[in-house]
Amino acid sequence: MKQLSLTGAAGQSDILIGRGLLDEAAARCAEVFSPSRVHIVTDSTVAPLYLDRLAAQFDLPVSTTVIPAGEAHKRLSTVETIYHDLLAAGMTRKDLILALGGGVTGDITGFAAATFLRGVALCQIPTTLLAQVDSSVGGKTGVDLPEGKNLVGAFYQPRLVLIDPCVLDTLPDATFTDGMAEVVKYGYIANADILDMISRPDYRDTIEDVIYECVKIKRDVVAVDEHDTGLRMILNFGHTIGHAAEKLAHFTELTHGQGVAIGMVAAMRLSNALGAPTDLVPGLVGLLQKLGLPTELPYDREAIFSALLSDKKKFGGTVNFILVREPGKAEITPIAADTLHPLILKL
């Protein structure tokens, strides 16, 4: 087992990575928390696989909320459902909420934990690769609005994150592939060795090491910039145009990983248009295609430009883009909207 810790404004978050941790969840929670009851939030896909297995470990009253699976349900109405279930279960501020699922479940549950009674202890147990390498760590929580992704949320660190690579064995190939987009992102923004690791035919055999390297990068970045005002912005590589594409896809036609993959290629092309010394597009496209991820932006460019103007990354008249001019090194580049417009139209 590997262990990392993240110290933030609200205290320490322990991140454990190891096979079999799902079956040790109650024991691991007992080392960190002292609740009188536990509430597990999961989704309709994960519940039949792991909910009973997790709940049975606790010698405390356990209540549950099973939300519909999918980004389309990442809404305030879903959070309200969780609130009602927490109240019905008699949850107090001294109790524990567990998020069991992928990125959507983790984001929704994290937001509910942050805001219910102004904050209840949270443990994240991510069950998808995307959630394990990215969204379960760092404390970003939130829900979508029709105008865009994650426009309502809070920074709320989980006290404990339990990452069990064994649960990835039950993932459909398409869902596993979706998470690989975030892995590629980490390779390009901070550690090019990750790109070598996932280029090997047997990379899935060492996925625990891949997860560790990605989480370590995120831990290091969040430790410096917990509230996303500076360095943490590099984690948005591929997300600016990616989120715009997801919005145009009504959060149903594209997965998050697909949006990020498309967005990374678009950001690389934007970097070229701004005078990058080396064309990194062919290498990125080749790797993404090898992994089974899309590389081309399928939406009208004018619509993409309009959509990204409502993103959180827009500040006044500029949009912060994350550009990569050398594998393993990212740059935060503010681009004026009037400069960006013609460049987007040429992507």
pLDDT by residue (tens digit) across 117-159? 999 999 999 999 999 999 999 999 999 998 888 999 999 999 9
pLDDT at 315: 65
pLDDT at 310: 78
Residue 148 main-chain phi, psi, to 5 deg: 165, 175
| Under 8 Å between Cβ of 262 and 285 | no
Q: How many helices (H) and strands (E) does the chain have?
A: 13, 12
- The last residue of one of the domains, among 152, 171, 190, is 171
Q: E strands, 75-221, where?
A: 96-101, 121-126, 140-145, 148-155, 160-163
C-alpha 99/C-alpha 122 separation (Å) is: 8
Contacts of 41 (CB under 8 A, 6+ apart): 64, 65, 67, 82, 97, 98, 99, 100, 101, 105, 108, 109, 112
CATH number, domain containing residue 178: 1.20.1090.10
Statement to judge: residues 14 and 133 lie in one domain: yes
C-alpha 36/C-alpha 110 separation (Å) is: 20
| Under 8 Å between Cβ of 283 and 295 | no
Contacts of 275 (CB under 8 A, 6+ apart): none
Statement to judge: residues 162 and 142 lie in one domain: yes
Question: In the chain, how many domains are there?
Answer: 2
Statement to judge: residues 180 and 67 lie in one domain: no
Statement to judge: residues 266 and 318 lie in one domain: yes
| pLDDT tens digits in sequence order for the chain, 347 residues long | 999 999 877 778 999 999 999 999 999 999 999 999 999 999 999 999 999 999 999 999 999 999 999 999 999 999 999 999 999 999 999 999 999 999 999 999 999 999 999 999 999 999 999 999 999 999 999 999 988 889 999 999 999 999 999 999 999 999 999 999 999 999 999 999 999 999 999 999 999 999 999 999 999 999 999 988 899 999 999 999 999 999 999 888 999 999 999 999 999 999 999 999 999 999 999 999 999 999 999 999 999 999 988 776 666 788 999 999 999 999 999 999 999 999 999 99
C-alpha 280/C-alpha 271 separation (Å) is: 9
Task: Provide the 3-class DSSP secondary structure of residue 54.
Answer: helix
User: What six digits make up the tokens of 322?
Assistant: 């994350």
Nearest to 236 by CA among 168, 147, 138: 138
| Under 8 Å between Cβ of 128 and 153 | no
- Global pTM? 0.94
Contacts of 80 (CB under 8 A, 6+ apart): none
Statement to judge: residues 149 and 213 lie in one domain: no
Statement to judge: residues 203 and 88 lie in one domain: no
Statement to judge: residues 320 and 217 lie in one domain: yes
At 242-287, the pLDDT tens digits run: 999 999 998 889 999 999 999 999 999 999 999 999 999 999 999 9
Statement to judge: residues 215 and 156 lie in one domain: no
CATH number, domain containing residue 66: 3.40.50.1970
Statement to judge: residues 241 and 294 lie in one domain: yes
pLDDT at 312: 61
Residue 276 main-chain phi, psi, to 5 deg: -60, 140
User: What six digits make up the tokens of 16?
Assistant: 């454990």
| Under 8 Å between Cβ of 246 and 254 | yes
Statement to judge: residues 30 and 143 lie in one domain: yes
Q: What is the extent of the structural domain holding 187?
A: 174-345
Bridge partners (DSSP) of residue 163 are 17
C-alpha 134/C-alpha 246 separation (Å) is: 18
C-alpha 5/C-alpha 115 separation (Å) is: 24
- The last residue of one of the domains, among 118, 152, 171, is 171
Q: E strands, the chain, where?
A: 2-8, 11-17, 38-43, 62-67, 96-101, 121-126, 140-145, 148-155, 160-163, 314-315, 318-326, 329-336
Bridge partners (DSSP) of residue 319 are 314, 335
- The last residue of one of the domains, among 123, 140, 171, is 171
Task: Provide the 3-class DSSP secondary structure of residue 1.
Answer: coil
Statement to judge: residues 18 and 73 lie in one domain: yes
C-alpha 328/C-alpha 305 separation (Å) is: 27
Q: Specify the pairing of strand 314-315 against strand 140-145.
A: unpaired
Statement to judge: residues 101 and 191 lie in one domain: no
Nearest to 101 by CA among 175, 183, 167, 46: 46
